[in-house]
Amino acid sequence: MRCDIGIDLGTQSVRMAELKSGPVMSAPAALAFREGNNSPICAGEIAQRLVGRTCEGVSVCYPLRDGVLENNLYAARMFQWLFKRSEGVNTRRRFGAMITCAPFARPVQKEAMLTAAIDAGAAEAVLVRSDAAAAVGAGLDLNSPEAKLLVDVGAGKITATLFTFGRVAAFGYLPYGLNRIDDRVRRILRSDYGYRVGAACAEEIKLTLGSAMPDKAPRDVLMHATGISMAQRMPVNFDVETKPVLDACEDVVAELARLCCTVIDNAPEELAADLNDAGAVLTGGGAVMTELDRRIGQALGIPCRVADAPESCAIRGLHRIMEDPNAYRAMLQGQQTRQVW
């Protein structure tokens, strides 16, 4: 099967690659709908700007939640929007799509993802494990016998996978990603400090003050933020300390470190020993979190590095798989072809 277009649909971002030209675009995976209307009024960057600013009757939606498909209509509309923007697809009458999928997605969610791509106009659709695509994009040779540990840190899911001989030897996941830190920051600021802040502001606070090594992070840094004071009931500027942010980060990072240890514990002895030389590789947008590589390396006792351009590893890997699908047959997860009656 020939795939002309590759899509890495994530909880927060969507990335697209074309067979001929490689990765071509990255945008927020957001769609804005008017009430009672099934066609989005806008998508991507423009829809993302509407988050928290929509008027009555307009809502911003995401096809995925916690790394897996939540709404197949939104997914179909997102695919349609991408297909329209793809040159490779517009010049062909029939085209195939290759889409990343969380390894832990349930069969019904995988089936719904394939159906959404077919409904959006693809003649054929095939799913690929998102962790395998990220590993290929990080430059790991999956088909070699040495074990490789790949930790993909995304917005809605975190996966840790041990690969060998092109197959998965051990796997573990958290059904949430670094967006959970944003939620915690919002909750702590509301309950302990009396300020309400928006999702974008909470993410900015995490990016600025967050760290995976709370003991090493500077404690005397303050960040200016704008929110609503619940006491005064009006917008105010206030300073955020590092403590609540580091506490929020620690909850998620500690679980992430535990997940990696469990995956290695469950691996066959020889493979776990290989990791002493190869180490672990971090991919996904969250891989660049301050000191995350050092924290995981310390927890596992092996070297740990962040892949080059970690946020785009999955789409670069997906493009490589599109070029040579037979070499990665074991990582394909399901296929659907449009029925012509």
Ligand X SMILES: Nc1ncnc2c1ncn2[C@@H]1O[C@H](COP(=O)(O)OP(=O)(O)OP(=O)(O)O)[C@@H](O)[C@H]1O
Q: Which residues bind ligand X (CB under 6 A)?
A: 10-13, 64, 67, 154-157, 177-179, 203, 206-207, 210, 284-286, 288-289, 311
Could you tell which of ligand X, Mg ion, none binds residue 13, using a CB distance below 5 to 8 A set by kind?
ligand X
Could you tell me the smallest distance in angstroms from the CB atom of residue 186 to Mg ion?
22
Q: How far apart are CA 15 and CA 12, in angstroms?
A: 10
- Please tell me whether residue 102 adopts helix, strand or coil conformation: coil
Tell whether residue 177 is a contact of Mg ion (CB under 5 A): no
Could you tell which of ligand X, Mg ion, none binds residue 317, using a CB distance below 5 to 8 A set by kind?
none
For ligand X, the closer CB: 86 or 179? 179
For ligand X, the closer CB: 68 or 264? 68
How many other C-beta atoms lie within 10 A of the C-beta of residue 93?
5
Q: Which residue is nearest to ligand X (CB)?
A: 154
For Mg ion, the closer CB: 149 or 272? 149
Tell whether residue 317 is a contact of Mg ion (CB under 5 A): no
Could you tell me the smallest distance in angstroms from the CB atom of residue 334 to ligand X?
18
For ligand X, the closer CB: 96 or 286? 286
Which residue pairs, CB below 8 angstroms and at least 24 apart, start in 239-245? 240/189, 240/205, 240/209, 242/209, 242/217, 242/218, 243/219, 244/185, 244/188, 244/189, 244/192, 244/193, 245/181, 245/185, 245/205, 245/206, 245/209, 245/210
Q: Which of 6, 44, 63, 154 binds Mg ion (CB under 5 A)?
A: 154
DSSP string covering 16-68: EEETTTEEEEEEE--EEEETT-SS-SEETHHHHHTTTT--TTEEEE-SEETTE
Bridge-based pairing of strands 280-283 and 148-153 is parallel
Q: Which amino acid is at 287?
A: A
Tell whether residue 297 is a contact of Mg ion (CB under 5 A): no
Tell whether residue 10 is a contact of Mg ion (CB under 5 A): yes
Tell whether residue 67 is a contact of Mg ion (CB under 5 A): no
167, containing H or E segment: strand 167-174
Residues that bind Mg ion (rule: CB under 5 A) add up to a total of 2
Tell whether residue 156 is a contact of Mg ion (CB under 5 A): no
Q: How far apart are CA 327 and CA 232, in angstroms?
A: 62
For ligand X, the closer CB: 140 or 174? 174
Could you tell which of ligand X, Mg ion, none binds residue 327, using a CB distance below 5 to 8 A set by kind?
none
Q: How far apart are CA 31 and CA 92, in angstroms?
A: 26
Could you tell which of Mg ion, ligand X, none binds residue 177, using a CB distance below 5 to 8 A set by kind?
ligand X
Q: How far apart are CA 133 and CA 122, in angstroms?
A: 21
Q: Which chain residues interact with Mg ion by CB under 5 A?
A: 10, 154
